[in-house]
């Protein structure tokens, strides 16, 4: 495999659990102390693909909190996400990366215009790219899920949007969209690993296409929805009629706190529901809950009950329980997305990367929610690149 | 859709739960009192395919027991497999079909040669086909799982096999293989819905090919293995390393009794294990049990625990519980297999029908165990026909 | 065992699923076509107790709907609660009991005063008792759960309450409390199998005591809470520290519709939560959901996740799934409560029957929620009677 | 609380997971770095009881392996049983205790007579007690489960037993019984936390009584059986008829290896089965499996399916999944048993301690298997002491 060239991975929410785990893992992979378990891009179907190597990925990022990465990694080590020996092996590397992290944007602490805020974010990314001599930087949003942001007429055209962004004190965009705008204005592809708005506004999507930049998202598929996307096609291809699909999610950590809050959960629940309907070819009774259970720490437990009808109307059921560490599941996909999106950019692709639907609950550029078909599409895309 | 022409479905084990449910269901479909839930061949991807209609399928069969079909259906009605109203709607039809069932072969009750036994079975099928004016008859084995039958040198060539079959009192073949031989000698395609030996002997496979007859099997995929074939690819495509996959099956009914017996279970456990290794790309710890729990009646409960490793070696798990009626799951597939195999025969295909792997735990003619890929292969095959 | 004497069981909500199943079961027990499975009062510890026999129980009741009992029983037969053969054996008996059912009270359809409504209810019960020559009548509320009713100052004294009840069009009591008041005024013990207010108002509790009438309740313990009351003491007696206990309930039928509605669920969720705190000796994180899943029919599925801490702080978990028919679980307890409450009345007991806490989620007259201790208290009480 | 006086806890299998966790925990309790979670003797009902304090317990023991305790504790720390900070806090203490551990007995490595072996074991315990100035020493067996040992006529009288023990090379007792004999001969109470034979032979039981020594056992109740003993009474007191109770146990670690072996599992499965029959008041279908799943490490997962019948014969089910660390569950009970047994000895009790049935799957001196009743009996006993 040829050298791909130095590539930036700029993390929005760089001090969060997912980002910290991704950074720790990248350092551990470089050091050879772990295998790339969970990294799709390191599996056989992609071994001939031209992707940035672990040594070629340079990490930078924004965050609105200041806790040092090393401290965050230590906490994740205590809660079972990062093995103690891995933490020991990479802690000095974490301190170095800490120097590349910059203060993120939050409306409450940025009284100026959103245009100014975006310029500052862009400047951070550009400075990073130049100083490190990077060919390209992929911006990936892994910050906390935002409350649902209202649709505004200003979102429809770039002119209207930029005019509104220039008004001091006006909040026309949620932070994820300010980050997406800043990414695009720096010439960077943008990936949204969260269900937040990000680039998904008419004005920003058009901007991406005009600038020839690819983008991907939304909402990393790491647990209950992942299992659903593998199981639902079993029912449909077997002509078994699903009558209800109920789900309960127990989350600890900051995620539980953020998502159990009804307003925040709104965007998450919508992502999850949309996929299920598409998978089953119609609406079914599908109550869904997200509960904050702090004692679970970084763990996440999902229970689903699928009630279905078979031959002659007989009732049967499938139940599953998924117990996982959200950050362990998400982090390797963040590295995958950085690599694949960098390859797409290098190949001149722009606009929504529907071929990356495999990674998302609510994929942009694709209506395909079946996991196996998404995997096949990803392989086909990689082969063609 | 053009008329396909009158087609026979000859059931080996025609008075068992699966056969009784399939026959009841066929009558109910003809009467329009149920929808074809669970019938793959009735779903959208196959609607343009030339297949025998419900009215074109004629039922006959062999069994070694004499209980009337109507009585069997009544018992299945009490145990929840057949709704009471469906039973009422078809009971007279069941009595008519009862007249088409003939005495099956069992070594304990047939002291003559297996060649004689096979000739008698063939004569039953041929007489049925002629009397009903059928273009073709598909023979489907849905009898009880047999104990593992030893490999013998006589199985390798037709000459040696037929010579051994002619020796009075000699048991060179298990009953499923006598049935398969009889089917082939009557010019009929053969499908094995059980893990029994059936056609899977070198001499018989060669005979099928020589006679230009297609065959399919083995061991209908209706529960735990079905779910495994949908879930296992999720782990492999996501680079999650499965460390163990433990399974427990609780079965009532005759199936529980037959399969919990270690010797019989042998063939079933081998079918199940083979698929898992192929799906996961290597051996994992995979203890598997089948328990006889008579009070469950026709129900079947499977519990699986999948222990897997994610990024940085973190341990996570997926558990599922499947509660189904085995006959409700199997019966529509028996109708599907009759229709698809008839279509293959009509199209001149012969030998193992690997494209029907979608239906089986241990598919002949295919190494593909991933459910989605099997479904795609089936659709592709149907389209090409 | 001596004869207890003719005893009435007056059901409020007599055409509901629980009542219909209880009535059907009583008829089936009398006919000897079923065993008293699920009937606590028919187990060994109570065999020497003087209780009304199955033949001595006379059924009457109120309901606001008119569907004939036979029709209701037929529907329950189709949904798996009542076996077909049991329905056939008792259907004529159901029609006879239908004649003893009277129109119940609902504010929307009774424009007069609640005092008038209560008088009419009382008259129905009294007329029933006299005509049948009953020694006593136990009134049991099995109607749908009511929305939480606001506390009012009029609830504190009988004088104020009766004055308010006399005002035409004034709704000072929820229907369950009107029924309780009518029961007491007819000289009848009152049992509340629902979480509705019923007798639990200062004025009514005092009235019961003054009239020398026993009462029991509230909210029959038939599923998730039953299991919790058996399991929670395991953790406390073993010094295992429960950190969270999350629960999800999937209900079909009318119950699902009523309870999933936030306002109605209010009273149910409060009943459930109160017990858990008492059982565990303090508050824990305990999110709880009730979802309406109509396709489940009469079935009810509860899933609980208990996360607990053991020695040295190690985290462990217990999960359970309960799949039951609510009416099958509740109905025999309704018969038990009628028998035990009649015995208490015969023995001259009045006020709250704390010894019946075994049957309830939110017991009156007792703070004991541990199932084994409740069972022991019930046995001790029965022995002393 | 008065001082109880210095008390020995002599562990047979002192370097195993349970013993190492118990020792580590005792040191951590003394150091005040953990709370006594999981220690029954530290709960409210026993706070006025005269028991040896954490500082008064002196640890010694036998083992046939030589791995240092510190090394064992480090491995347990990596597998999640012992938190890293606890290990750090006690590691020097572990080294000190290591000096008190002596070579245990195993027939394969002791070619002499079992009488000689027992004398050597006794001498170790006596020397320990004298050197440390202990008032009494409780011997607790926490070594690996033995294969079922055949009954021999020599087990019936002490004379015959001691004669046979004197024959060089003759193995008349399993190691657990040699340890029990040695304990008794040293004047020490004996507790068996395993299902091995231990003191449960007529000759040894009589010896204990003659020497005025109490003993307790067998087979610590720490997982599936614990839950069963809490849940089974729910069904019986509610008159719900359990039809089958199936169980699957997945074990990693050395325990999985030992117990999945059919011969060893024999004794464990018998312990488990005996309790269930007593709890349910009769035999039910109860298939039970123990599987070795090495990747689970110290974790243990049990899944049980309870199928039961309710009113009118309706079928319902309860399923539970228990995920625990065996050593975390067992270790605090080992400390409890040392304290309670020391108190019994101090109070002059001898023979089987039926009041400790709460701790065991197969209690000596008691037929009570219901958890709540066992807890009540323990409290009553403690109160009386």
For residues A82 and A73, the answer to whether their CB atoms sit within 8 Å is: yes
Report CB contact under 8 Å: C295, A285. Answer: yes
Instruction: Identify which of D364, D361, D200 has the alpha carbon closest to the alpha carbon of residue D275.
Output: D361
Q: How confident is the model at residue B259 (pLDDT cuts 50, 70, 90)?
A: confident
pLDDT band at C181 (very low <50, low <70, confident <90, very high): very high
In this predicted model, what pLDDT tens digit does every residue of B38-64 receive, in sequence order? 999 999 999 999 999 999 999 999 999
Which residue of C260, C287, C296 is in closest CB contact with A307? C296
Using an 8 Å CB-CB cutoff, list residues of chain C that contact chain A. 243-244, 246, 248, 250, 260, 285, 287, 289, 291-296, 301, 303, 305, 307, 315, 319, 321
Are residues A246 and A295 in contact, defined by beta-carbon separation less than 8 angstroms?
no
Q: Place A111 in a pLDDT band, splitting at 50, 70 and 90.
A: confident
Residue A53 banded pLDDT, cuts 50, 70, 90: very high
Measured N-to-C along each axis, helices D114-132 and D158-165 cross at an angle, to the nearest 10 degrees, of 100
Q: What is the mean pLDDT of residues C15-26?
A: 98
The confidence score (pLDDT) of residue D262 equals 64
Say what the pLDDT of residue D35 is. Answer: 97
CATH architecture of D7-219+328-384: 3-Layer(aba) Sandwich (3.40)
Out of 3.30.1600.10, 3.20.20.70, 3.30.360.10, 3.40.50.1100, which CATH number does the structure's domain C224-325 have?
Answer: 3.30.360.10
pLDDT at position B261 is 67
Check if the beta carbon of residue D207 is closer than 8 Å to that of residue D184. yes
pLDDT the model gives residue C263: 60
The backbone torsions φ and ψ at residue A66, rounded to the nearest 5 degrees and listed phi first, read -115, -5
Q: How distant is the Cα of D197 from the closest Cα of chain C, in angstroms?
A: 26
Nearest alpha-carbon partner for B61 in B30, B114, B27, B20? B20
How confident is the model at residue D2, as a pLDDT?
58
DSSP secondary structure code for residue A218 in this structure: S
CATH code of the domain occupying A224-326:
3.30.360.10
Name the pairing type of β-strands B299-309 and B315-325: antiparallel
| A299 close to A328: Cβ distance less than 8 angstroms | no
| Nearest CB to A250 within list C292, C294, C305 | C305
Beta carbons of D230 and C231 less than 8 Å apart = yes
**CB-closest option in B285, B289, B292 to D293:** B285
Query: What is the rounded average pLDDT of the residues C261-277?
Result: 73
Q: Which chain D positions have a beta carbon within 8 Å of A84's beta carbon?
A: 78, 84
In a 10 Å sphere around its CB, with 0-12 CB exposed, 13-18 middle and 19+ buried, how is residue D108 labelled?
Answer: exposed
Put simply, the answer to whether A240 touches B312 (Cβ < 8 Å) is no
Question: Which residues of chain D does A80 touch, with a Cβ-Cβ cutoff of 8 Å?
Answer: 80
Chain B residue numbers touching C84 (CB-CB < 8 A): 78, 84
Is the per-residue pLDDT at A1 higher than 80?
no
DSSP assignment of D255-291, as one string?
HHHHHHSHHHHHHHHHHHHHHHHHHHTS--B--EEEE
Q: Which chains touch C (3 or more CB pairs under 8 A)?
A: A, B, D
Q: How many CB atoms lie within 10 A of CB D133?
A: 9
Helix axes C224-237, D371-384, angle to 10 degrees: 30
Chain B residues whose C-beta is within 8 A of a chain C C-beta are 78, 80, 84, 321
Quick one: closest CA in C to D336, which residue?
Answer: C238
Per DSSP, the residues of A139-195 read: EEE-SPPPPPPPP-GGGS-HHHHHHHHTSTT---S-HHHHHHHHHHHTT--EEE-SS
**Are the C-beta atoms of residues A289 and A247 closer than 8 Å to each other?**
yes
Q: Which of D244, D298, D309, D310 to mutate to test the interface with B (most CBs of B within 10 A)?
A: D244
pLDDT at residue C105 is higher than 60:
yes
Alpha carbons within 13 angstroms on the beta-carbon side of residue D52 total: 30
pLDDT at C215 over 50: yes
Max CA distance (Å), chain A: 68
Of D36, D40, D319, Cβ closest to residue C238: D40
Provide the sign of the torsion angle of the four alpha carbons D214, D215, D221, D226, taken in this order.
negative
Q: Is C296's CB within 8 Å of A248's CB? A: no
Q: What is the DSSP-derived secondary structure letter of residue B34?
A: S
D230, D309, D325: residue with CB nearest C37: D309
Question: Measured in whole angstroms, how far is the alpha carbon of residue C384 from the centre of its chain?
Answer: 24
The answer to whether the CB of D215 falls within 8 A of the CB of D208 is: yes
pLDDT above 70 for A254? no
Q: What is residue D1's predicted lDDT score, i.e. its pLDDT?
A: 47
* Measured distance CA(D30)–CA(C229) in Å, rounded: 34
Lowest mean pLDDT among A105-109, B173-177, C360-364, D127-131: A105-109
For residue C271, pLDDT beyond 90:
no
Average per-residue pLDDT in chain C? 95
Q: Show which subunits contact A, needing at least 3 CB pairs below 8 angstroms.
A: B, C, D
Q: Which of B80, B239, B312 sits opposite A34 (nearest CB)?
A: B312
Q: What pLDDT is recorded for position A228?
A: 97
The tokens of A324 are what? 């996982």
Chain-chain contact of D319 with C324 (C-beta, under 8 angstroms): no
- Evaluate whether C353 touches C385 at the Cβ level (below 8 Å): no
Say what the pLDDT of residue D224 is. 95
CB contact under 8 A, D239 and C373: no
Chain D residues inside the 8 Å CB shell of B294: 244, 285
- The 3-state DSSP class for residue A61 equals strand
Q: Which of C241, C243, C248, C319 to mutate to test the interface with A (most CBs of A within 10 A)?
A: C248
User: Min CA distance, D315 vs chain C (Å)?
Assistant: 8
Low-confidence ranges of chain D (pLDDT < 70): 1-2, 254-255, 261-264, 267-268, 271
* CB–CB contact A230 B234 (8 Å): yes
Check if the beta carbon of residue B58 is closer than 8 Å to that of residue B338. no
For chain D, give every domain's residue range.
Answer: 7-219+328-384, 224-325
CB A378, CB A355: distance < 8 Å: yes
Q: Give every strand in the sheet of A190-192, ordered side by side.
A: A101-103, A57-63, A7-12, A136-141, A190-192, A214-217, A351-352
Strand partners, C306: C245, C318
Give the integer Cα–Cα distance in Å for D324 and C308: 10
- Give the whole-angstrom CA distance, residue B168 versus residue B115: 9
What is the interface size between C and D, counted as CB pairs within 8 Å? 184
CB contact under 8 A, A246 and C246: no
Which residues from chain A sit within 8 angstroms of residue B311, using beta carbons?
Answer: 21, 25, 34, 37-39, 328-329, 331-332
Residue pair D212/C200 in contact (Cβ under 8 Å)? The answer is: no
Q: How far is B207 from chain C (nearest CA, A)?
A: 50
Q: Calculate how close chain A gets to B26, using CA atoms only, in Å.
A: 10
Cβ contact B90:B31 at 8 Å: yes
Decide the pairing of beta strands C299-309 and C315-325: antiparallel
**Rounded to whole angstroms, how far apart are CA atoms D227 and C139?**
37
- How many angstroms away from the CA of D255 is the closest CA of chain B? 16
φ, ψ dihedrals at B229, nearest 5°: -70, -15
Residue A353 to residue A365: CA distance in whole angstroms:
6
Closest residue, chain B, to A43 (C-alpha): B239
| Rg from Cα positions in chain A | 20
Convert the pLDDT of each residue in A193-207 to its tens digit. Answer: 999 999 999 999 999
Euclidean distance between CA atoms C117 and C139, whole angstroms: 16
Record: contact B316-A329, CB cut-off 8 A: yes
CATH H-level superfamily of B225-325: Dihydrodipicolinate Reductase; domain 2 (3.30.360.10)
User: Cβ contact (<8 Å) for B250 and D295?
Assistant: no
Q: Chain D partners of A318 at a C-beta cutoff of 8 Å? A: none
Q: Give me the pLDDT at residue C82, please.
A: 96
Residue with tokens 């009041």: D355
pLDDT given for residue A253 in this prediction: 74
- Nearest chain B residue to C80 by CA distance is B80
Distance from CA of B223 to the nearest CA of C (A): 20
Cβ contact A305–C250 (<8 Å): yes
As a whole number of angstroms, the distance between CA D123 and CA D206 comes to 22
| CA atoms of B21 and D193, how far apart (whole Å) | 52
- Residue B303 and residue D303: Cβ atoms within 8 Å? yes
Neighboring chain D residues of B295 at a CB cutoff of 8 Å: 243-244, 285, 307, 315
Residue C114 host element (H or E): helix C114-132
The answer to whether B202 touches B158, Cβ cutoff 8 Å, is no
**Chain C hits for B325, Cβ within 8 Å:** none
Cβ neighbours of B321 in C, within 8 Å: 321
C22 HSE (CA, 13 A, CB side) = 33
Which two three-digit tokens encode residue B8? 């026979």
The token pair that represents D93 in the structure block: 């203490």
pLDDT of residue C2: 58
């Amino acid at each position: 495999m040829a050298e791909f060239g130095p590539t930036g991975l700029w993390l929005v929410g760089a001090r969060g659990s997912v980002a910290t785990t991704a950074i720790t893992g990248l350092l551990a992979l470089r050091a050879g102390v772990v295998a790339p378990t969970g990294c799709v891009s390191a599996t056989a179907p992609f071994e001939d693909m031209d992707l940035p190597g672990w040594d070629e990925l340079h990490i930078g990022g924004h965050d609105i909190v200041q806790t040092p990465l090393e401290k965050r990694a230590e906490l994740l080590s205590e809660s079972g996400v990062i093995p103690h020996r891995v933490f020991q092996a990479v802690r000095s590397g974490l301190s170095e990366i800490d120097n590349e992290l910059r203060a993120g944007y939050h409306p409450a602490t940025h009284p100026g215009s959103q245009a100014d805020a975006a310029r500052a974010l862009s400047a951070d990314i550009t400075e990073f790219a130049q100083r490190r001599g990077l060919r390209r930087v992929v911006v990936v949003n892994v910050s906390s899920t935002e409350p649902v942001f209202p649709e505004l007429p200003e979102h429809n055209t770039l002119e209207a949007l930029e005019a509104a962004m220039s008004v001091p004190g006006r909040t026309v965009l949620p932070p994820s969209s300010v980050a997406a705008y800043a990414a695009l204005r720096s010439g960077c592809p943008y990936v949204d690993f969260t269900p937040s708005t990000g680039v998904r506004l008419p004005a920003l999507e058009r901007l991406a296409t005009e600038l020839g930049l690819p983008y991907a998202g939304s909402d990393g598929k790491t647990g209950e929805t992942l299992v659903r996307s593998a199981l639902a096609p079993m029912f449909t291809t077997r002509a078994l009629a699903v009558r209800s699909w109920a789900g309960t999610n127990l989350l600890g950590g900051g995620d539980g706190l953020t998502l159990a809050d009804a307003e925040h959960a709104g965007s998450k629940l919508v992502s999850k529901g949309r996929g299920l309907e598409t998978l089953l070819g119609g609406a079914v009774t599908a109550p869904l809950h997200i509960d904050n259970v702090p004692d679970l720490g970084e763990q996440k437990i999902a229970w689903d009950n699928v009630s279905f009808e078979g031959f002659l109307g007989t009732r049967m059921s499938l139940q599953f329980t998924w117990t996982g560490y959200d950050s362990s599941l998400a982090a390797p996909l963040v590295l995958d997305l950085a690599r694949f999106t960098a390859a797409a950019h290098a190949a001149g692709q722009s606009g929504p990367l529907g071929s990356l639907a495999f990674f998302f609950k609510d994929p942009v550029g694709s209506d395909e929610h079946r996991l196996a078909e998404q995997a096949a599409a990803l392989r086909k895309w990689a082969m063609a690149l």
